[in-house]
Amino acid sequence: MSQKTIYVLNGPNLNLLGMREPEIYGRDTLADIESRCVALLEGTDFGLVFRQSNHEGQLVDWIQEARTEADALILNPAAYTHTSVALYDALKALSIPIIECHLSNPHARETFRHHSYVSLAANGVIAGFGAIGYELAIRAILSQVK
């Protein structure tokens, strides 16, 4: 049985997770989240590609790469959620499950955060559960991708 791959892509400022506004985003670092995701996939036929970039074009490149290299995508686009037509267009080229993931609940925050371009292309959205949201996204993918 060949290994399947889940891409987990993270947008701007998530490299500062655990240090930047912990009252909103929590104290877990991105490395902590990655470790828990890897542990969750132990014993499955899924591997994980876990990345972060502050640059929109890099995220677009990785989304395009996922088109041929991944079996599912979890994306925390961070601030690009609300601004990036480029991410939306790249996501529309995928035929794999896409889960949009947010640490906080954008709908409980400032009005400008209520709109998501990414949601228009995603199969589902997980928001407001903090770092555990990534684990919930993986569980959703495991239930969808056989």
Active site (catalytic) residues: 25, 102
Largest CA distance in the chain: 47
* Angle, CA 29 vertex, CA 115 and CA 101 arms, to 5°: 25
List alpha helices for the chain, DSSP H: 22-25, 30-41, 56-69, 85-92, 132-144
Distance between first and last Cα of the chain: 11
Q: Can you tell me which residue has the tokens 């395009």? A: 64
